[in-house]
Amino acid sequence: MTAFRTLDDAGPLQGKRVLLRVDLNVPMEGGRVTDATRIERIVPTINEIAGKGGRVVLLAHFGRPKGKPVATESLKPVVETLSRKLGRPVAFAEDCVGSAAADAVARLQDGDVALLENTRFHAGEEQNDRAFAEQLATNGDLYVNEAFSAAHRAHASTEGLAHLLPAYAGRLMQAELDALTKGLEAPTRPVIALVGGAKVSSKIDLLQNLVAKVDMLVIGGGMANTFLHAQGKAVGKSLCEKDLADTALRIVEAAKAAKCRIILPVDAVSASEFKANAAHETVPVDAVPETGMILDAGPASVAEINAAIDEAATLVWNGPLGAFELTPFDAATVATARHAAERTQAGKLVSVAGGGDTVAALNHAGVGETFSYVSTAGGAFLEWLEGKELPGVEALRAKG
């Protein structure tokens, strides 16, 4: 990846103060970390910098304190878990700027790590205030961004700092950018995108961007019902945004113009109740009962999707194909995910997935570790899929 500056471009780190922006917005309960996944993912970069003699100064936000200190949104409770996962002590500063931060950084020796308090305790963070970014910059010799999940925000610690210090992508950010480049920016074709979820309204920008970039687009989940309705098919009591029928038809026309093949369900699993193990039947999509709700794609739809995946060299996945939280309405998502995983393991498919429900669905199918890359970035991943520039990423782009 030559488009972005990475740690490989940073030169010797011995004795350097490295401001490392990380994502520590982890689930907490009773003052304890309940899911350390985000911490575990940043460990390799922290240890690499420390191992090269760098003095690691961690910047992060937690919660939404709205520009002022809030005791319940302090990063201090994270220190114990962070230290344990790193296998090295982590100092803590009661502020991210001013004397508290300066003193903590001054005490660091080569290879030491310090965590500064929540950047969002200052209004200048979310305002991307230049003066606040300059205060942060006084504690570093270079800046490394490891928080792709916050890269869609132009904040002082995610974007402003990159213009004040030599700036680089951390290893996790680098892996994310590599995966996204392989997914849509410079993919091996043919490319298939699978987009599911409940509503078209939340993914209009996404669909419009994808039809211009991919060769095949699978539309599943509740949003497929809106497209079926737009084509004149009765969808019973299914979730359906009937007022967006014209929008759906415009997306279909845009796909035709771009020579992108849209794949919609041809059969559906219908039930009259939205609950696990509800009585259900599989019917063609033009034969959904008046009292029925489409809760999953049927086996014929899965066969068509999997055949399309077999044609593809690259898969981008966002959203489930049905109500995967409820058995047996997880069947289409699980079968398709496992087929994509098999193709990936066989070296025949590059598979990139992301978004909250997507991560949960792939883990439910037991293939979260098998895809080429699964992003946990949520909003940043979606905005990238929509074709939007991410300020925190653009600031790391190599010049010239």
d(CA 130, CA 214): 39
Token output for 54: 């760098």
Alpha-carbon gap, residue 99 to 346, rounded angstroms: 55
Decide if 135 contacts 97 (C-beta within 8 A).
yes
Q: Is 209 helix (H, G, I), strand (E, B) or coil?
A: helix
CA atoms of 5 and 348, how far apart (whole Å)? 30
pLDDT (0 to 100) of residue 397: 87
The two counts, helices (H) then strands (E), for the chain are 14, 17
Question: 117-137 b/e with 16+ CB inside 10 Å = b?
Answer: bbbbbbebbbebbeebbebbb
Whether 292 is a known active-site residue: answer no
Distance from C-alpha of 330 to C-alpha of 337, rounded to nearest angstrom: 11
Q: Which are the contacts of 390, defined by CB distance < 8 A and separation ≥ 6? A: 151, 152, 380, 383, 384
Type of residue found at 93: A
What SS3 class is residue 7? helix
Gap between the Cα atoms of 185 and 178, Å rounded: 10
Candidates 258, 168, 248; CA nearest to 212 is 258
Query: Which residues are bridge partners to 261 per DSSP?
Result: 216
Fold category of 7-172 in CATH? Rossmann fold (3.40.50)
Domain ranges of the chain: 7-172, 187-385
DSSP 147: -
Shortest CA distance to 58 belongs to which of 66, 49, 68? 49
Give pLDDT, residue 400: 47
Q: At 362, which amino acid appears?
A: L
Query: Among 76, 88, 199, 237, which one carries the catalytic annotation?
Result: 199
Is 199 part of the annotated catalytic residue set?
A: yes
Phi, psi (deg, nearest 5) at residue 41: -75, -20
Helix (H, G, I), strand (E, B) or coil at 392: helix
Decide: 45 and 171 in contact? Cβ < 8 Å: yes
d(CA 110, CA 284): 66
Q: Give the integer Cα–Cα distance in Å for 187 and 214.
A: 9
187-385 and 7-172 share a CATH fold:
yes
Give pLDDT, residue 96.
98
Task: Select which of 21, 38, 55, 343 is catalytic.
Answer: 38
Q: Assess whether 38 carries a catalytic annotation.
A: yes
Residue 2: per-residue pLDDT = 52
Q: Which residues of the chain register pLDDT less than 70? A: 1-2, 399-400
Helix (H) or strand (E) holding 92: strand 90-93
* 186-225 per-position pLDDT tens digit: 899 999 999 998 888 889 999 999 999 999 999 999 999 9
Instruction: State the maximum Cα–Cα separation within the chain, in Å, rounded to a whole number.
Output: 71
Nearest CA among 362, 289, 318 for reference residue 198? 318
Q: Is 378 a catalytic residue?
A: no
For the chain, the straight-line distance linking the first and the last C-alpha, in angstroms and rounded, comes to 15
Domain 187-385: give its CATH code. 3.40.50.1260
Angle between helix axes 78-86 and 37-51 (nearest 10 degrees) is 60
Options 356, 368, 378, 387, the catalytic residue: 356
pLDDT one-digit tens code per residue, 252-275 = 999 999 999 999 999 999 999 999
**What strands, in cross-sheet order, belong to the sheet with 167-169?**
90-93, 113-116, 55-59, 17-21, 142-145, 167-169
Under 8 Å between Cβ of 364 and 335: no
- Beta-ladder partners of 199: none
Q: Is 176 helix (H, G, I), strand (E, B) or coil?
A: helix
Which of 80, 33, 82 is closest to 56 using CA atoms? 82
Structure tokens at 143: 């800046």
Q: Would you state the pLDDT for residue 1?
A: 42
